[in-house]
Chains A and B, each alone.
Chain A
Amino acid sequence: MGSRFNPYDNNGGTCVAIAGVDYCVVAADTRMSTGYSILTRDYSKICQLADKSVLASSGFQADVKALQKNLSAKHLIYQHQHNKQMSCPAMAQLLSNTLYYKRFFPYYAFNVLGGLDSEGKGCVFTYDAVGSYERVGYSTQGTGSTLIIPVLDNQLKSPSPLLLPAKDAVTPLSEGEAVDLVKDVFASATERDIYTGDQVEIVIINASGIKREYVQLRRD
């Protein structure tokens, strides 16, 4: 037997987040697959880590779950030590460090973290599996990301990160327009990506709190 045990699997899924001036939309589909089989049509990839930070992750489900548990435990300790909720940019740094800590046996997890920063502005952080991250105005990760990113680029044209003085990377859309765009990109990705479908779970974070919404997608 020349083959070695492979500790990874890809359970698929697509995540999207869009930041606006006073809101953030985080979305992911609810399909969980392995190879050509669908394991379940109703698995949430979205995890609320703090009052104003929401994490959407795709990749290997067992690693994603371990990562979420790890971050939740760290956040519980943070609350005991500081008597407050962690800010989204702080959670972003924590997530990066947590991923890099396993640099040589990585979590196979592709994350987008969305929420509101300490000024109440929408923020999105996008990651690779080993923790490199960046604050952006919008992002997508997972199996359908290659189909979605050009649409978001086209519709949301963020200001170049090379501009001086730096411009805010928030999108000009209203909350309702952003949610409609999310529904459209998921419906489109579902047409061509076999790992995306069933339902899209949309989480909207703004000053008044968190709202959840579900939209049906193609189930084939």
Chain B
Amino acid sequence: MAHDEDVAGSERTLYPYVTGTSVIGIKYKDGILMAADTGGSYGSTLRYKSVERMKVIGKHSLLGASGEISDFQEILRYLDELILYDNMWDDGNSLGPKEIHNYLNRVMYNRRNKFNPLWNSLVLGGVKNGNKYLGVVTMLGAHYEDNHVATGFGNHLAVPILRSEWKEGMSFEEAVKLLEKCLLVLLYRDRSSINKFQIAKITEEGATIYPAYSLKTFWGFSAFQNPGQFAEGTW
């Protein structure tokens, strides 16, 4: 089948429909923390307001997704099957974050090779045998690891904050404070983000996805109240 064939009627993601915005992930003293809002945008319409974009995978991993929500849900089905088949060995071994990340790399790259991509940027975090792991996979299959990562707008707005303020061995409280600072910047400047956030953590003891909550905003800056004041020719 030539790739330039008319694809009408065939099933492939040519562009995303319902999308989630940035995911942020950082390492801290006991493991990994991840944060994302719960919005699902239909183009520029805020279509869904409580989509969980972070999920626990197996015993040691946490997956966060931005991009096409339906593709993310399909990825979760693949991973459920993967974990199920892994459990069936019943040998006491379980897939760690490195293995899950590697699996996702192969799935994403394989789909791009078929010109039928899964339209997501994925953040994978986890802890196994005392090793913290934090990585990203893009829709084309490009992947990397780092101490702090962010997808989409987060790469522009959150990463610079993380680069200057993240440090090795932060406490849970410090790390949450840093994530909230990033989320607030994203809330102010990323129009598709919403003020309903979730934070998720994973440590050697297991994963917790905290219930959604809002951040306190302040819109009283004069530039917010009268944005056109010093910009002649605007209204």
Contact = CB atoms under 8 A, between A and B. Distances in A.
B142 A5 contact: no
Given A62-B140, A62-B141, A5 B14 contact: yes
A134 interface: no
Interface string B140-165: 11111110000000011000000000
Interface string B182-226: 000000000000000000000000000000000000000000000
A60 B142 CA distance: 8
B113 interface: yes
A68 interface: no
A8 B112 CA distance: 9
Contacts of A40: 144-146
A7 interface: yes
B15 A9 contact: no
Nearest to A32: B144
Contacts of A162: none
A61 interface: yes
Contacts of A65: 105, 143
The contact size tier of chain A is 20 to 34
B33 interface: no
Contacts of A60: 140, 142
A43 to B, nearest CB: 5
Interface in B92-115: 105, 109, 112-113, 115
A44 to B, nearest CB: 10
Contacts of B113: 7, 105
B69 interface: no
B14 A1 contact: yes
B175 interface: no
Interface in A2-31: 4-5, 7-9, 11
B117 A61 contact: no
Contact of B140 (A9, A32, A43): A9
Nearest to B114: A7
A37 interface: yes
A40 to B, nearest CB: 5
B112 A7 contact: yes
A62 B143 contact: yes
A39 B156 CA distance: 10
Contacts of A61: 142-144
User: Which residue among A43, A62, A66 has the maximum number of chain B CB atoms within 10 Å of its CB?
Assistant: A62
B146 A7 contact: no
Contacts of A43: 144
B57 interface: no
Contacts of B141: 62, 66
A37 B152 CA distance: 10
A168 interface: no
B142 A11 contact: yes
A191 interface: no
A42 interface: yes
A40 B143 CA distance: 10
Contacts of B109: 62, 66
Contacts of B117: 5, 7
B124 interface: no
B112 A62 contact: yes
A40 B109 CA distance: 19
B136 interface: yes
Contact of A62 (B142, B145, B155, B156): B142
Given A37-B155, A62-B109, A7 B144 contact: no
Nearest to B112: A7
Contacts of B115: 5, 7
6 contacts: A1-B14, A34-B138, A37-B155, A39-B144, A42-B146, A62-B138
Given A7-B113, A39-B155, A61-B144, 7 more contacts: A5-B14, A9-B140, A34-B138, A40-B144, A66-B109, A66-B141, A105-B113
